[in-house]
Amino acid sequence: MARARTKKSAARKKTGKKKAATVKTTSKKTKAAAKKRSSSDRRGQMPTVISRADASARIVSAGKDVHEDILKSRKPKMEFPVRSLSNVKYDAKRGHFEILGKTSLRTLTYNTVKTFAQSMRLMATTKRELLDKNDIAGKREIYYNSKSWGPCRFEQQPESDALLDDMEAMLAVNREQLGYIPEERGGDVAGPLVVIDRNPTSGLQVRIDCARLGSGAWSIPSRVEQLEFECKAKFILVVETASLFQRLVHHLYYEKANCVLVSMSGVPTRACRRFIRRLADDKKLPVLAFTDGDPYGYCNIYRTLKVGSGQAAHINRFFCVPQAHFLGVTPQDIVDYKLEDATHPLEDVDIKRARDALKNDPFIRHHKPWQDALTQMLKMGVRIEQQAFAKHGLNYVLEKYLPEKLKKQKYLP
């Protein structure tokens, strides 16, 4: 537990990484596709998941744009959106961050020729080796694959990671649909849910009953678009920490509450968020989030789950869960459940994160209840972990706290 706390503290203290340029093609076909997707989102429909053939066609179209510029003796240019909170708005109707109009222009020059060559080679590899062959690759594999690219090989993996993000934004296709799999685990699931998957080799149907896994849980795969569901649960309970998730599974809490339990283990991965979104949309299930009561749990973990992030605004429509609401732990819970002596002082990084959110975060600024919660936390000067309820007994959280919160149904947006 101490180790987990240390890892989270390190995450809270981590400074923002340098933002990689996100390349966006200006072809008419891509603009038309983006307009169509935008219209679909406004009608409240699920985001369109394009086929491998369509993704491949977008790569070909982007390549032709560059080739045409060269043939006409024009310097090839790539326009890409600025990916940060300063270039997003919170769209309450769609339920997620939408990217605004700020863009940067990258022109082929002596200084950018290597990056251009890497971009073109990466798109070609994606088309020929992944999309055309229906194969997959991890980020680390692509980095090593580039060692055969001669002068345009990547010297460090952050270079290839950045260009993957560039390509994702340029094509308006999330990288999972391009065949790239994340390195991190997707999350764990337990409860009254049958997941219907396919054997990747034989194509035969595979049924996974998430209520019949003994003391364990089913791990969400890196790609979830092919999954189908059978579920009679009333809601999805998304839990931040693995230890609390394991306690709820051990005591079969999902039977008592008739819910599907999902462990995020910190900031939820893209696969985890996409899985929750697909299940919630498919079965019309509400989603409740249960995190630690600190600015990191609110402004990083929960906010990312519900509306996405500024850096990924171009794909948030796939990886956010707009129907999510925040169950706890809230600052008011500290008072209501007499947990004052089970808290920890806010660290400088917590105070900064909370103040920045109140000032700059479009989601927080849109919802007064969240402004009130963060202001109350700053006044109290403390944060609290999910495990703090153990002060009243190891199973107090599942015997008292959760039932009362579910009964009152007073959640933060």
- Catalytic annotation, residues: 144
H helix or E strand, kind and range, residue 305 = helix 303-307
**Long-range pairs for 390-397: beta carbons < 8 A, 24 or more residues apart:** 391/339, 391/341, 391/342, 392/337, 394/247, 395/247, 395/251, 397/244, 397/247
Give the contacts of 173 (CB within 8 A, at least 6 positions apart). 50, 55, 58
Q: Which two tokens stand for residue 59?
A: 């790569």
Q: Is the dihedral of CA 69, 70, 74, 78 positive or negative?
A: positive
Cis peptide upstream of residue 329 (ω within 30 degrees of 0): yes
Contact (CB, 8 A) for 293 and 329 = yes
Give the contacts of 12 (CB within 8 A, at least 6 positions apart). 294, 295, 296, 347, 349, 350, 353
Phi-psi region of 193 (alpha: psi -120 to 50; beta: other; left: phi over 0): beta
Distance (Å, rounded) from C-alpha 283 to C-alpha 227? 13
Distance (Å, rounded) from C-alpha 104 to C-alpha 390? 51
Angle (nearest 5°) at CA 184 between 178 and 188: 110
Distance (Å, rounded) from C-alpha 381 to C-alpha 295? 11
342 by DSSP, 3-state: which?
Answer: helix
